[in-house]
Amino acid sequence: MSTIEKALQKQREKNQQGSADQVQSETAAADGGNTPQESTAHANEPQQTTGPGNNNKRELIIIDQQNLKEQGLITDSTERQKIKDEFRYIKRKLLNNAFGSGASNLENGNLVMVSSGKPNEGKTFISINLALSIALEQDKTVLLIDADVIRPSISTELNISPRKGLVEYLLGEVENISEVIYNTSISNLKIIPAGEPHHLTSELLTSDKMRQLTQELANRYSDRMVIFDSPPLIEVNESQVLANLMGQALVVVEESHSKIADIQKAVDSLNEELAIGFVINKAVQTQKEMYGYYGY
């Protein structure tokens, strides 16, 4: 055999081997791209669930406990905090109305709206602490929703990076609400952020889709407390519409700042069938009692 013939024979053998390798590669791709060893390895990994409220692990929201402490928020540490005691008192009434003896007298008792008469009275601070306090319960989960889509602040307070949320769901950009219910590093706490600003944010809160969402949360997740950080009640008509979908309302009042007339006006805008409570916020404590700036 000449040198040229030997070279051609060698090339033919090389091409045949390449074809065999390609067939094997294509077969593996049709089977999911895994060799038997790889398939076994994946089978042993924890499987990603797709049920309500479960998201990809990469989307887990990490709640920085040190950041919570620095802001005067409740932490999950064993350290005694005055604020923990204060919110225990607040949440007990809400939990009783949702799941205890008061539940029979309320519709959607597990849906709690936290609002104030006017801005800057501390409603977001109360919403976050209330959710953190309920999350410490052994047998309860809590969903915290930033429904103040006009001036959202929960993500800022908790150092959460921008992501899809309530606005995207109400616009129809997200098909299933479970896609924007994010798990957090606090096992019993889930969050729906406000999402990206939109020129129709006010209309979204009064839409039929928002009404349907609240009914789904009340019925499908009836064993879960749902906290809505809502826009102020005065001069924001959307909040009054949202209040009609709730079972309970918590009105935040800033000590030495909120006017009696404003408080009365805020309460008058609420549905009479709501269970309404009040939280005195930013109360100045005596030096002996001073654990933090906020009191209730």
pLDDT at 210: 96
The single residue listed with the structure tokens 């896609």 is 179
Taking each helix axis from N to C end, the angle separating 82-99 and 123-135, rounded to the nearest 10 degrees, works out to: 80
Q: d(Cα 68, Cα 87) in Å, to the nearest integer?
A: 15
Neighbours of 85 (CB within 10 A): 12
Tell me what the mean pLDDT of segment 29-58 comes to.
Answer: 40
pLDDT at 105 over 50: yes
Tell me what the mean pLDDT of segment 88-114 comes to.
Answer: 93
Coil, strand, or helix at residue 166?
helix
How would DSSP label each residue in 180-213? G-EEBSSTTEEEE---S--TTHHHHHTSHHHHHH
pLDDT at 264 over 70: yes
Confidence (pTM):
0.77
Which of 9, 113, 128, 114 has its CA nearest to residue 64?
128
Coil, strand, or helix at residue 172?
coil
Which of 221, 250, 289, 1 has its CA nearest to residue 129?
250
CB half-sphere exposure, 86, CA atoms < 13 A: 20
Per-residue confidence band for 283, with pLDDT thresholds at 50, 70 and 90: confident
Q: d(Cα 116, Cα 118) in Å, to the nearest integer?
A: 6
Coil, strand, or helix at residue 238?
helix
Architecture per CATH, domain 58-289, reads as 3-Layer(aba) Sandwich (3.40)
Which runs of E-coded beta strand occur in 101-192? 111-116, 141-146, 182-183, 189-192
The chain-wide mean pLDDT, for the chain, equals 80
Q: Determine the distance from the C-alpha atom of residue 149 to the mean position of all C-alpha atoms in its chain, rounded to a whole number.
A: 13
Tell me what the mean pLDDT of segment 173-194 comes to.
Answer: 95
Contact 261, 249 (CB under 8 A): no
